Amino acid sequence: MNMDAAIQSSELAMERDPREAKLGYFAGGSFVLDSVRVFKWFSSARDLATHLIDVEPVVFEWSDEDVAPIREKLSKILGGLEEGGLTEELRAQVNAVTKGFLAIEWWGGFDDLIEGNTEFAEGIRSDYRDVEETDQQDALTSSELGGFVEFLKTYGI
Return all residues near 68 (Cβ < 8 A) that are at least 6 apart: none
- Range 36-47 average pLDDT: 96
Statement: residue 135 has pLDDT above 60: no
Measured in residues, the chain has a length of 157
The CA radius of gyration of the chain, in Å to the nearest whole number, is 16
Q: How far apart are CA 120 and CA 112, in angstroms?
A: 9
**pLDDT tens, position by position, 15-40:** 999 999 999 999 999 876 678 999 99
Q: Which helix (H) or strand (E) holds 104?
A: strand 102-109
Q: Determine the pLDDT at residue 131.
A: 65
Q: How far apart are CA 19 and CA 68, in angstroms?
A: 34
Number of H helices, E strands in the chain: 8, 3
Statement: residue 133 has pLDDT above 90: no
Predicted TM-score of the model (pTM): 0.91
**pLDDT tens, position by position, 81-132:** 886 789 999 999 999 999 988 999 999 999 999 999 999 999 999 999 886 5
Q: Determine the pLDDT at residue 120.
A: 96
In the chain, where are the structural domains located? 3-154
